[in-house]
Chains A and B, each alone.
Chain A
Amino acid sequence: MKNLTKQFPWSVIGGLTVLLSACGGGGDSSPTTSAQQTKFAPAQIAFAARENGQPVDCTSTLTTVGTAANSSQLRDLRFYVSDVRLVTTQGQEVPFTFDTGSTVAANQTDNLALVSLIDNPNGTLGECVQATAFSVLSGTAPQGTYNGIRFTIGVPQSLNHSDTTSTSTPEPLKVQSMAWSWQSGRKFVKAEFNPTSGVQRPNNVSATTWNFHLGSTGCQTPAGLTPDNAVCSNSNRLTVSLDNFNPDKDQIILDLNALLAQSDITTDQGGALGCMSGSTDADCPSLFKVLGLTIQQDGSVTRDGPANFFSVLKNVR
């Protein structure tokens, strides 16, 4: 399987995606099947991370991510996925229903999963030490033929500010390293890199890790209420829309080159180390562009389009 993926020409994928999305908007609106007739079938959504088309894990030496020529190593690579919809060949969106219950991995709950692409037990850095992999969502979808997927990167607002230790909190939200007390919420994405050269800070002090933490910001708990009621001015949830995706055969690739295409992970321009979603953090604007987000002068964040650091890898399952 690995050989197959290695040989796959990436430029072709990009081209195909563009072509398909160009002709996918025909709006073939076939009549909806009534509820009684709908049959559901098991479905899986597989994720993986790649650098330059090659699979990566905690032991990989990354050589091409970021704008500076420098090698680096993964320290963490996890994100929350919710609101997954598959797109039929007729262009209809149908919900992917997450499996729940005691037989399902703790990373997954109703309509939410913590995807963890740090899957090598020999990792030595950060969260890689624990290396809890979870890359395949399990669920059901109406029987049919699919060639597209839509999903959200982030935790739904109704769950984002939940207590991290309560017995009533779903398991994926009890993961402390994804908790974000700064906003009484969760990090939606936690991607961390250790460049071999270290990270140069403005004060000439070197640090070891360049962090990307995404989450809702500008949060405030209304007066007199508890933090689970926090409201945020910047949702910072990402929408991902991929065409030419067949859940039975394809993988969704987090493309590290695309994610860091505008970021120099060997330097930090001030504020939090790397980009931790602060509106005044100089490392965020260029990275946010890749996410489809724009940080405005007044600190607000607007969504201009879909995130474009995910792609589809065909026929690898």
Chain B
Amino acid sequence: MSGKYFLIFTLSLLVAACGSEGGSGGSGNSSHSHQVASGLPGETGFPAAVVPANAKVGSAAFELGRSLFYEKRLSGNGQQACASCHQQDKAFTDGLARAIGSTGELHPRNTQSLANVAYNSTLTWVNPTLTSLERQMETPLFGTEPVEMGINDVNKEEVLQRLRSDPALVSQFETAFPEQVSNGRMGVALVDFDNIISAISTFQRELISSNSRYDKYLDGNGDLTPQELRGLALFNGEKAECFHCHGSFNFNDQVQFIGQVPEPPQFHNTGLYNIDGKGGFPEPNVGLIEFTGSPQDMGKFRAQSLRNVELTAPYMHDGSMSSLEEVVEFYSSGGRVIASGANAGDGRKNPYKSDLIVGIGFTDQEKSDLVAFLKSLTDREFTQNPRFARPN
């Protein structure tokens, strides 16, 4: 069984290795509405990303998106930017168990990394409808449960006016959307949410992290330590079997790229909770059941990419684990036992837990080997790349 999966993993590495050929190979799916954007990955060693047909590309849109990503005026009360919760030095996470919105509201979920987000087939912890960055962005901008950036019907014109009053920013819009300018739409008229979302998505699609020590090792440009190599073998081996859910070039199981036949997104219950002895997860984070209503979808969430995982603590959908050691211990035990309190219960016995989560029983040495390998996925070139930093 594991042999087959190892083959898949190997294949994805191969795909990664020859990715500069873009979408020329593989089984093209003529039924979907996507196209390859020129200028995307290739040199990163990853396959070409799937990009919606109407997505904006180009450096002017990227630079505008970058400005807007760091723009606090793009929130209802002017207090929060995308970058407030997606901080580059933490691989675009915030270091909090659960995010805090512009009005101080505590988010039920943990902020996710934006590294390689262009490759994700769905974009949040569990929502199976949000498959494009453009549409996902409506949630942080306009969402009310919880309020994140707090733009609403009452203040949305005011928010646009703030941006329109900045001539340098307006000029960036004109550079980024020349085709609209040539259609007679210019100046402040270009500053609308459609264009704002389009530009920020362009910025996000270029947030590619592919220069970790692990990547350099794969490319033959660097070494991993013996301990990291033991961790890698464990990761891909029969004992730990991490690769089932974290096996793609992006170390998750929800990737899409040109040449791949699109697959329905996977969600998993890993035995984090069992508050009622019947598999229950605490409200409001009950998982895929919130969408399907199917009891067997209780507690299912998306497997996260492990790239830069050293920098994205705390972990899990609700930030309920503070360290990588704690996470490895959790998988070693095949679930989490919470002894007391409102969330007490034996997650190991959650009836909806994935068959892949079994008590592995790592030795202490194995645990530290695995953690050492996971830390080799840290990409400092990504977290320190001036292209992604706050513009001057």
- Write the residues of chain A forming the contact surface with B, with a CB cutoff of 8 angstroms: 127, 129-130, 161, 163-167, 175-177, 179, 181-185, 203, 217-230, 233-234, 270-272, 278-280, 295, 298-300
Asked whether A221 and B293 contact (CB < 8 A) given A129-B154, A163-B135, A184-B135, the answer is no
**Which residues of chain A come closer than 8 Å to B130, judged between CB atoms?**
181, 184, 221, 227
Contact of B153 among A177, A233, A280 (CB under 8 A): A177
Report whether B128 and A176 are in contact in the complex, using a CB–CB cutoff of 8 Å. no
Residue of A nearest to B135 (CB): A227
Report whether B52 and A226 are in contact in the complex, using a CB–CB cutoff of 8 Å. yes
- Chain B 267-307, CB-CB to A under 8 Å as 1, else 0, gives 00000000000000001101001111111000000000000
Residue of A nearest to B193 (CB): A165
Q: Which of B27-35, B221-229, B349-357 contacts A (4 or more CB under 8 A)?
A: B27-35
Report whether B154 and A223 are in contact in the complex, using a CB–CB cutoff of 8 Å. no
Residue of B nearest to A233 (CB): B292
Give the distance in Å from the alpha carbon of A185 to the alpha carbon of B121 in the complex: 19
Give the distance in Å from the alpha carbon of A141 to the alpha carbon of B152 in the complex: 36
Give the distance in Å from the alpha carbon of A280 to the alpha carbon of B280 in the complex: 12
- Report B333 CB to chain A, min CB distance, Å: 28
CB contacts under 8 Å to A, within B94-145, are 121-122, 127-132, 134-136, 138-139, 142-145
Report whether B135 and A218 are in contact in the complex, using a CB–CB cutoff of 8 Å. no
Q: Which of B62-70, B164-172, B256-264 contacts A (4 or more CB under 8 A)?
A: B256-264
**Which residues of chain B come closer than 8 Å to A222, judged between CB atoms?**
262
Residue of B nearest to A224 (CB): B262
- Report A188 CB to chain B, min CB distance, Å: 16
**Which residues of chain B come closer than 8 Å to A176, judged between CB atoms?**
142, 151-153, 156
Report whether A280 and B293 are in contact in the complex, using a CB–CB cutoff of 8 Å. yes
Contact of B138 among A179, A203, A270 (CB under 8 A): A179
Report whether B129 and A223 are in contact in the complex, using a CB–CB cutoff of 8 Å. no
Report whether B283 and A270 are in contact in the complex, using a CB–CB cutoff of 8 Å. yes
Report whether B283 and A226 are in contact in the complex, using a CB–CB cutoff of 8 Å. no
**CB of B265 within 8 Å of the partner chain:** yes
Give the distance in Å from the alpha carbon of A167 to the alpha carbon of B180 in the complex: 12
**CB of B197 within 8 Å of the partner chain:** yes
Report whether B291 and A220 are in contact in the complex, using a CB–CB cutoff of 8 Å. yes
**Which residues of chain A come closer than 8 Å to B122, judged between CB atoms?**
221
**Which residues of chain B come closer than 8 Å to A229, judged between CB atoms?**
33
**Which residues of chain A come closer than 8 Å to B262, judged between CB atoms?**
222-225
Give the distance in Å from the alpha carbon of A165 to the alpha carbon of B153 in the complex: 12
**Which residues of chain A come closer than 8 Å to B32, judged between CB atoms?**
224-225
Report whether B293 and A223 are in contact in the complex, using a CB–CB cutoff of 8 Å. no
**Which residues of chain A come closer than 8 Å to B265, judged between CB atoms?**
223
Contact of B197 among A165, A185, A203, A221 (CB under 8 A): A165
**Which residues of chain B come closer than 8 Å to A221, judged between CB atoms?**
122, 128-131
Residue of A nearest to B194 (CB): A165
Top 8 closest pairs, chain A to chain B, by CB: A299-B293, A279-B293, A224-B262, A223-B262, A184-B129, A165-B193, A224-B32, A181-B139
**CB of B192 within 8 Å of the partner chain:** yes
**Which residues of chain B come closer than 8 Å to A181, judged between CB atoms?**
127, 130, 135-136, 138-139, 142-143
**Which residues of chain A come closer than 8 Å to B134, judged between CB atoms?**
163, 226
CB contacts under 8 Å to A, within B1-60, are 29, 31-34, 50, 52
Give the distance in Å from the alpha carbon of A226 to the alpha carbon of B286 in the complex: 25
Contact of B194 among A167, A184, A233 (CB under 8 A): A167
**Which residues of chain A come closer than 8 Å to B138, judged between CB atoms?**
163-165, 179, 181
- Report A269 CB to chain B, min CB distance, Å: 11
Contact of B292 among A182, A230, A299 (CB under 8 A): A299
**Which residues of chain B come closer than 8 Å to A234, judged between CB atoms?**
293
A-B contact pairs, 26 of them (CB 8 A): A127-B153, A129-B154, A161-B129, A163-B134, A163-B138, A167-B194, A176-B152, A176-B153, A176-B156, A177-B152, A181-B136, A182-B290, A182-B291, A183-B291, A184-B127, A218-B292, A219-B129, A223-B263, A223-B264, A224-B31, A224-B34, A226-B33, A227-B131, A233-B292, A234-B293, A270-B283
Report whether B290 and A278 are in contact in the complex, using a CB–CB cutoff of 8 Å. yes
- Chain B 79-104, CB-CB to A under 8 Å as 1, else 0, gives 00000000000000000000000000
**Which residues of chain B come closer than 8 Å to A175, judged between CB atoms?**
153
Residue of A nearest to B127 (CB): A182
Give the distance in Å from the alpha carbon of A161 to the alpha carbon of B305 in the complex: 28
Residue of B nearest to A229 (CB): B33
Report whether A278 and B151 are in contact in the complex, using a CB–CB cutoff of 8 Å. no
- Chain B 141-185, CB-CB to A under 8 Å as 1, else 0, gives 011110000011110100000000000000000000000000000
Residue of B nearest to A213 (CB): B145
Give the distance in Å from the alpha carbon of A221 to the alpha carbon of B291 in the complex: 12
- Report A58 CB to chain B, min CB distance, Å: 14
Give the distance in Å from the alpha carbon of A138 to the alpha carbon of B371 in the complex: 65
Report whether B194 and A217 are in contact in the complex, using a CB–CB cutoff of 8 Å. no
Contact of B293 among A127, A182, A300 (CB under 8 A): A300
Report whether A177 and B293 are in contact in the complex, using a CB–CB cutoff of 8 Å. no
**Which residues of chain A come closer than 8 Å to B50, judged between CB atoms?**
224
- Report B167 CB to chain A, min CB distance, Å: 23
Give the distance in Å from the alpha carbon of A225 to the alpha carbon of B30 in the complex: 12
Q: Which of A130, A163, A223 is packed against the most chain B CB atoms within 10 Å?
A: A223
**Which residues of chain B come closer than 8 Å to A203, judged between CB atoms?**
342
Report whether B153 and A218 are in contact in the complex, using a CB–CB cutoff of 8 Å. no
Contact of B132 among A165, A177, A227, A298 (CB under 8 A): A227
- Report B22 CB to chain A, min CB distance, Å: 17
Report whether B129 and A227 are in contact in the complex, using a CB–CB cutoff of 8 Å. yes
Contact of B192 among A167, A179, A218, A219 (CB under 8 A): A167
